[in-house]
């Protein structure tokens, strides 16, 4: 889900009439003890590939909706976690936050032997005075979607696939509590969520479920009526500063200079593509060099193939091979360092260079500009090149032409990004995210 290791703890009141919105602090938990950046990257790329394979499967099989899983990882890499409380009395649980899916779910008691270990107690609907099964025929029922085979009313069952993981259960309604202290806590009733009684047995280190922030009706963004949300991710190498996620009116770029805005492209109607945030990427430049990328490399086709999405849950940008090869060639034309096959093997990247020593600074490189419909996103070299122990790599990957292109969050670092769902636009501006 995320290349940055982050723990999200909610620190102010949730949405209410006239309220400023929800502010979420993102605290980086970079990796496990002794984990090198190369190991971190390889694990992040592995999880990106699992997630991308799930997207591919979901596009061809109506039975799946994709999202990142957090399987047991030797590197100790984390995801974005949001701490919520469910029920009356409230039970706290940490959940992966995902802009590429919709369903909010947690593991529930009784849970079969097909459940993963979690750090918090299982939520028990029988112990809550505010739990209810989602009524049959509810507009938020996943049984209304072809993406949920085996649904049966009145239980509104679901079975969701996430990479190599999965979860299954029934939809219910509950009171969710937002806030870290009694003074700022707000309780929101009748949130629709998934109560999972079976999940893949892999260890989802530190998580008890997932919170979807996608475009669909069951996502947290939609159910809160937030209208918009924003985040600002601190640099990859900054393991101390906190990032910020805002939901609701407080999510704004007002007063910030250098803001660019581009409209979302209408998503295909079929799952899982209907939950993604698509953008129209019209070209790429490296410095003053406009790359001769075929326009169709980023075009979204009527059948849902192609296109480009922005995803906080994918680490490294994935682009069609026709585009990637142009980017790669442009980098090669500017760098005179020797290439490093060992570095490529260690990081999992396709193009790496050997620096003179582990402490050597890489040569200066021009910014890379992503030309969107109506706005340019300028990436400094640190946002598309990655340095680690004397190796310097292009932090992007190629994939088969025609598949979904993904703008990963390594490329989003030090960028304040606003999703205005109500007005169907994405706005962004360069920022020192550690100071927000």
Tell me which residues are annotated as active site: 98, 311
Contact between residue 79 and residue 71 where contact means Cβ atoms under 8 Å apart: no
CA distance linking residue 176 with residue 186, whole number of Å: 8
Secondary structure element (H or E) that encloses residue 107, with its range: strand 105-107
Residue 352 tokens read as 């790496």
Number of Cβ atoms within 10 Å of the Cβ of 100:
27
CA distance linking residue 193 with residue 8, whole number of Å: 19
Q: Which residues 6+ apart lie within 8 Å of 101 measured at CB?
A: 65, 66, 67, 160, 162, 210, 212, 214, 219, 272, 275
Where b means 16+ CB within 10 Å and e means fewer, 367-403 reads: ebbbbbeebebebebbbbbbbbeebbbbbbbbbebbb
Cα radius of gyration (the chain): 21
Burial class of residue 34 (count of CB atoms within 10 Å of its CB; 0-12, 13-18, 19+): exposed
Residue 329 dihedral angles phi and psi, to the nearest 5° = -65, -35
Residue 309 tokens read as 């999405």
Sign of CA dihedral 286, 298, 383, 359: negative
Which residue, 207, 395, 160, is CA-closest to 151? 160
Residue 114 tokens read as 């097909």
Sign of CA dihedral 12, 220, 115, 138: positive
């Amino acid at each position: 889900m995320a290349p940055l290791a982050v723990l999200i703890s909610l620190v102010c009141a949730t949405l209410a009439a006239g309220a400023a919105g929800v502010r979420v602090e993102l605290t980086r938990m970079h990796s496990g003890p002794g984990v090198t950046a190369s190991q971190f990257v390889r694990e992040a790329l592995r999880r990106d590939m699992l997630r991308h394979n799930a997207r591919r499967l979901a596009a061809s099989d109506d039975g799946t909706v994709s999202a990142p899983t957090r399987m047991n990882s030797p590197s100790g890499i984390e995801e974005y976690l949001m701490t919520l409380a469910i029920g009356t009395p409230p039970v706290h649980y940490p959940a992966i936050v995902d802009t590429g899916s919709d369903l909010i779910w947690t593991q529930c008691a009784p849970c079969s032997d097909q459940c993963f270990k979690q750090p918090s107690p299982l939520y028990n609907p029988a112990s809550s005075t505010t739990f209810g099964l989602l009524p049959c025929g509810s507009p938020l029922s996943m049984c209304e979607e072809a993406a949920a085979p085996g649904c049966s009313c009145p239980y509104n069952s679901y079975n969701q696939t996430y990479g190599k993981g999965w979860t299954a259960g029934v939809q219910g309604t509950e009171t969710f509590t937002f806030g870290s202290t009694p003074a700022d806590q707000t309780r929101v009733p009748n949130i629709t969520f998934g109560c999972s009684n079976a999940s893949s047995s892999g260890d989802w280190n530190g998580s008890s479920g997932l919170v979807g922030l996608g475009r669909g009706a069951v996502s947290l963004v939609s159910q809160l009526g937030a209208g918009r949300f924003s985040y600002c991710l601190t640099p990859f190498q900054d393991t101390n500063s906190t990032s910020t996620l805002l939901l609701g009116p407080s999510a704004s770029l007002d007063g910030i200079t250098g803001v660019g805005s581009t409209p979302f492209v209408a998503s295909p109607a079929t799952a899982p593509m209907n939950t993604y945030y698509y953008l129209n990427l019209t070209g790429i430049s490296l410095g003053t060099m406009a790359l001769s990328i075929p326009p169709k490399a980023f075009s979204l086709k009527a059948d849902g193939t192609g296109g480009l999405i922005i995803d906080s849950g994918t680490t490294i940008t994935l682009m069609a091979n026709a585009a990637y090869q142009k980017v790669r060639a442009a980098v090669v034309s500017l760098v005179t360092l020797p290439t490093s096959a060992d570095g490529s093997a260690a990081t999992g990247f396709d193009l790496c260079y050997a620096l003179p020593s582990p402490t050597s600074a890489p040569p200066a490189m021009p910014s890379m500009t992503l030309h969107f419909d109506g706005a340019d996103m300028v990436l400094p070299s640190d946002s598309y090149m990655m340095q680690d122990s004397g190796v310097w790599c292009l932090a992007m990957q190629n994939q088969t032409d025609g598949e979904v292109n993904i703008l990963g969050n390594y490329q989003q670092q030090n960028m304040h990004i606003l999703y205005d769902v109500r007005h169907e636009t994405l706005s962004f501006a360069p920022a020192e995210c550690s100071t927000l």
